[in-house]
Amino acid sequence: MNTNPRLTIGTLSERTEVNIETIRYYERIGILPTPPRSAGGHRLYAKEHTQRLVFIRRSRQLGFSLDQVRELLGLSSGRRMTCARVKNITEQHIADIRRRVKDLKRLERVLSDLTSQCRGDEMGECPILDALTRP
Amino acid sequence: MNTNPRLTIGTLSERTEVNIETIRYYERIGILPTPPRSAGGHRLYAKEHTQRLVFIRRSRQLGFSLDQVRELLGLSSGRRMTCARVKNITEQHIADIRRRVKDLKRLERVLSDLTSQCRGDEMGECPILDALTRP
DNA sequence: TCAGACCCTGGAGCGACTACGGATATAAGC
DNA sequence: GCTTATATCCGTAGTCGCTCCAGGGTCTGA
For the full predicted model, state whether its pTM sits above 0.85.
yes
Percent of chain B with pLDDT over 70: 95
Using only C-alpha atoms, chain B has a radius of gyration, in whole angstroms, of 24
Distance, C-alpha B130 to centroid of its chain: 38
Residue A124: DSSP 8-state: S
Q: Residues 56 to 75 of A: which have CB under 8 A from any B CB?
A: 58-59, 62-63, 72
Partner-chain contact B125 A83, CB within 8 Å: yes
Which pLDDT tens digit goes with each residue over A27-56? 999 999 999 999 999 999 999 999 999 999
Question: For strand C, which nucleotides have at least one atom less than 7 Å from a protein CB?
Answer: 6-9, 11, 15-20, 24-26
Which residues pair with residue A43 across a beta bridge? A37
Q: What is the pLDDT of residue B1?
A: 41
CB contact under 8 A, A120 and B93: no
| Residue A133 to residue B74: CA distance in whole angstroms | 13
Return the bridge partners of B37, or none.
B43
Of A11-20, A102-111, A122-131, B33-42, the one with minimum mean pLDDT is A122-131
Q: Which residues touch strand D (CB under 7 A)?
A: A 8-11, 13, 20, 24, 37, 41-43; B 19, 21-22, 24-25, 38-42, 60, 65-67
Encode A13-46 in three state secondary structure: HHHHCCCHHHHHHHHHCCCCCCCCECCCCCECEC
Determine the average pLDDT of the residues in B69-73. 94
3-state SS, residue A40: coil
> Residues B121, A83: contact at Cβ < 8 Å?
yes
Express each pLDDT in B27-60 by its tens digit: 999 999 999 999 999 999 999 999 999 999 999 9
